[in-house]
Chains A and B, each alone.
Chain A
Amino acid sequence: MDLNRRLFLGAATAAATLSAPMLRAQDRPKVVVIGGGAGGATAAHYIAKDSEGAIDVTLVEPSRTYHTCFFSNLFLGGFVPVESLGHSYGKLAGMGVNVVHDWAVGVDRDAKTVALAGGGSLPYDKLIISPGIDFVDGSVPGWSLATQSVMPHAYKGGTQAELLKAQIAAMPEGGTYAMVAPPNPYRCPPGPYERVSMVAHHLKQANPTAKILIVDPKEKFSKQALFEEGWAKHYGGMIDWIGPDFGGDVVEVRPGTMEIVIDGAVEKVDVANVIPAMKAGRIAEQAGLTNDAGWAPVSPDMMQSREDEDIHVLGDASQQGDMPKSGFSANSQAKVAAMAVRGALTGSKVFPARYSNTCWSLIATDDGVKVGASYQPTDDKISKVDGFISQTGEDAALRKATYEESIGWYQGITSDMFG
């Protein structure tokens, strides 16, 4: 272990200059990270790796096996097994991260402690909160968390995706899968439309007369031209999109009778995938870091909460400017925050922030597309610098390469998160 070697060398040669790692564990500065996803796991990983034992890092995450939300659409389409989405925290623990499997239920910002559902309390010098999203109560009348087993959202990693897949598999011949799409802003902008593509891919083989209905409050959506081209090419006639011009923004659901009411017109459906409006994961709200819109505003240079300089908020929960809410974005932001936290606690070098994002989507077998951009901090927000998007009419070889690239990215980001 590097720390021990340093300790030995330090004692023998230059004790004064190597004093930081010699502090006893309870004297080391403490970082608590809430949430073990693309933001939190990456932050814990980078702080532990780069501080080489000088910082005491605790990661609070309820799940022992974390299921990524990204790529869960590929599971729905039958392209990857559910097991491939699960990741353990064993390697992070091996790198010295204290992994606590519990819920963070409160933050005392004056005492600088995090309360755990299991009763414990964790002191911190710096707190990183990366809790993902929660749903806005009442945003889809008739739907609540109590009905999520009847009308799943499947928009968080874990069992919801398996439930949705089972419901789709059980659809009667010629039945209807309906999606209530979320209003902006929400995590993974192309996600609902990739999901529709994956459901269509499955139904085309298993239930070719089935129908797909998207009820959408938005005038337009991410990668729209690419999805519409792909849907016409691969799934002609199967998918209907109802935008706000046709009542897509006036929707109510009735879980008891499996009905969706679109601007007064009642549709009986077989699967109702309701993705409500979103807000920051609730611990951000409990910590008093969110605004009226439900998100936690942060500084563009280091993702520092506007409410508390000892707290950084990452990923979907943050309100930072131009970056989309995505796992890639959270991972990118985590590295900037990790560097800032180390700099503040140990005096390590802090370089200017830079951010980037790419979102890949699969439309059909070997038909992948992507959109991405680079970002930098400006005075009041993170601003887009440059970007690109796949083009309609691209040939099959490029689309296949794009899909293969997304598989490579999954390997890359998950090892960047979990070690």
Chain B
Amino acid sequence: MAWRSPTLASFALALAAGAAYAADEIGDADRGADLFYECAGCHEVGAGAVDGVGPHLNGIFGRRAGAIEGYPYSKAMARAGADGMEWHLDTLDAYIENPKALVSRTRMNFDGLSEPQDRADMLAYLRIFSANPADIPEAEPTARADLPDLDPAILAIEGDPDYGEYLSSECTTCHQRDGGDGGIPAIILWPTEDFVVAMHAYKQKMRPHPVMQMMAARLSDEEIAALAAYFATLNP
């Protein structure tokens, strides 16, 4: 693994003059290097890192989502990139906290890091491998609003599938009931929590896409729960 290769120390040192300050401000990069062990099965980072199961993470700060030429991204990640999502401290933090909230249905099989300190340290470590000074954060990462900002009570709402069926007719002009997903993603048979989290991420304008942000904006918490309940059981 490139990130643990003997060249790592010298590579990090070479970058330290320009980037150490930024990493320091984010968190403890040394601790992040240990935490990265969980990621290293799929992602390489450091000198000579190449794409493996997941894309390499050199220069991830400031990179557009889904932007590495030739890497076979999931449709969901490619779409997020096409919609304009870029990896910065806030989006990376949200993504590794709960990967399915920010971009649903990617190929990344990772439950997320719930501890803010773990994420900060991990990102401090990754920050070392991104040279762009524009990514230096102006505020502590904890200043970021928790996205999506969801009261557990919202996740606990029992959706009314009948109401969801009515509301769904607004979705199915574009999203096919049979699960077809050319150009527009399939939304049937999602776990309800993923669905709710994703819709609130649109509602809070955290996930990019003007149509979905508009549609989500006028859905109440109950309506989102109803749609989740309906689509979760819709069999093609």
Contact = CB atoms under 8 A, between A and B. Distances in A.
B172 A412 contact: yes
Contacts of A374: 214-215, 217-218
B71 to A, nearest CB: 15
Q: Which of A339, A349, A386, A406 has the most CB of B within 10 A?
A: A386
B174 A412 contact: yes
A387 B215 CA distance: 10
B183 interface: yes
A372 B214 contact: yes
Interface string B100-142: 0000000000000000000000000000000000000000000
A312 to B, nearest CB: 16
Contacts of A400: 82
B166 A339 contact: yes
A332 B173 contact: yes
Nearest to A351: B166
Contact of A354 (B83, B173, B218): B218
Contact of B183 (A349, A358, A407): A407
Interface in A378-406: 385-388, 397-398, 400-401, 404-406
Contact of A408 (B84, B182, B215): B182
Contacts of A339: 166
Contacts of A328: 173
Interface in A214-244: none
Nearest to B175: A412
A16 to B, nearest CB: 22
A386 B183 contact: no
Given A370-B211, A388-B214, A354 B181 contact: no
Contacts of A331: 173
B62 interface: no
Contact of A401 (B64, B83, B162, B182): B83
Interface in B208-225: 210-211, 213-215, 217-218
A122 B164 CA distance: 34
B180 interface: yes
B82 A415 contact: no
Given A332-B173, A415-B176, A388 B211 contact: yes
A415 B174 contact: no
Contacts, number: 90
Give the secondary structure class of A's interface: helix
Q: Please classify the interface of chain B as helix (H, G, I), strand (E, B), loop, or mixed, using the class held by over half of its residues.
A: loop
A374 B217 CA distance: 10
Contacts of A404: 182-183
B214 A386 contact: yes
B69 interface: no
B177 interface: yes
Interface string B159-194: 000110011011011111110111110000000000
Given A374-B218, A398-B83, A408 B173 contact: no
Given A46-B169, A407-B183, A397 B218 contact: no
A262 interface: no
Most A-side CB within 10 Å, residue of B163, B169, B180:
B169
Nearest to B66: A397
A408 B83 contact: no
A416 interface: yes
A413 B177 CA distance: 10
Nearest to B177: A415
B54 interface: no
Nearest to A417: B173
A130 interface: no
B59 interface: no
Nearest to A352: B166
Given A46-B169, A351-B163, A411 B176 contact: yes
A358 to B, nearest CB: 6
Nearest to B168: A335
Nearest to B67: A397
Nearest to A376: B218
B79 interface: yes
Interface string A129-159: 0000000000000000000000000000000
B173 A401 contact: no
Given A388-B210, A398-B84, A411 B182 contact: yes
Contact of B218 (A385, A398, A409): A385
Interface in B16-34: none
A356 interface: yes
Given A400-B82, A416-B172, A407 B218 contact: no
A401 B218 contact: no
Contacts of B177: 415-416
Contacts of A351: 163, 166-167
Interface of A: 46, 328, 331-332, 335, 339, 349, 351, 354, 356, 358, 370, 372-374, 376, 385-388, 397-398, 400-401, 404-409, 411-413, 415-416
**Closest CB pairs A-B (n = 6):** A408-B183, A408-B184, A401-B82, A388-B210, A404-B183, A335-B169
18 contacts: A46-B169, A328-B173, A335-B170, A356-B170, A356-B214, A358-B174, A386-B218, A387-B214, A388-B211, A398-B82, A398-B83, A409-B184, A411-B182, A412-B172, A412-B184, A415-B176, A415-B178, A416-B173
Interface of B: 64, 79, 81-84, 162-163, 166-167, 169-170, 172-178, 180-184, 210-211, 213-215, 217-218
Given A356-B170, A374-B215, A415-B180, 9 more contacts: A356-B173, A388-B214, A397-B64, A401-B82, A405-B184, A409-B183, A411-B183, A416-B169, A416-B172
